Amino acid sequence: MEKGDTPMANLSSPNRFGTVKISYSKIDAFIRRITRVFSSVAGGAVLSLFLLVLVNVFLRAIFNSPFKHTDEIVRFNMAWIVYFGFAYTLRIGRHIAIDALTSHFSEELRKKVNKVSVILVSVWIMMISYGGWKLWLDLFRKGQRSFGLLEVELWIPGLCIILGLSWFSAEGLNEVVKTFLGMTDKKPEAET
């Protein structure tokens, strides 16, 4: 530290800020890898859903004996697809956004509004995650079962709620940090 520098002044220097960005990019890369695992699970659930319905159609058409549990398994798979797809959709910037108003703002004002919206969205995600955890704990404590033929304890398929929403929260917080560090480039990762 130079004579007269304060620790805060040194922290805000361009060199220090670049170091923080480089360090955080490693954390972001780790989060990206985990998010890809979640998206792979969601993709696998889509594939299994397709195969299950296809096999069921053949069983019904050829043998007149469909698999009785298909409807219930399809519902559970849909939950895994949705909850495990949330974080990936946020990461690649594909959630629904309406920019009819903000597209008329200046670049500087748009950046400020984006920072506020990223914080609000992350708080909203965390509130939903909290509700998801409460729901899951309630299902676990009561041992409530599904109404279908399988009669599965609902906390088991409900794991997708707490896992998916918790990781969605992690991606939301990651988005906040990246926005404030100026690391957002919102080009779709699926194309890279």
Buried b (16+ CB within 10 A) or exposed e, 154-167: bbebbebbbbbbbb
Q: Sign (positive/negative) of CA torsion 57, 58, 61, 65? A: negative
How much of the chain is helix, strand and coil, in % rounded to 5? Answer: 75, 0, 25
Q: Is residue 29 classed as helix, strand or coil in its secondary structure?
A: helix
Task: Record the pTM.
Answer: 0.79
Can you tell me the distance from the alpha carbon of 39 to that of 42, in angstroms, rounded to the nearest whole number? 5
Condensed to tens digits (0 to 9), the pLDDT of residues 69-119 reads 888 899 999 999 999 999 999 999 887 777 778 888 898 998 899 899 889
142-160, pLDDT tens digit by residue? 999 988 888 899 999 999 9
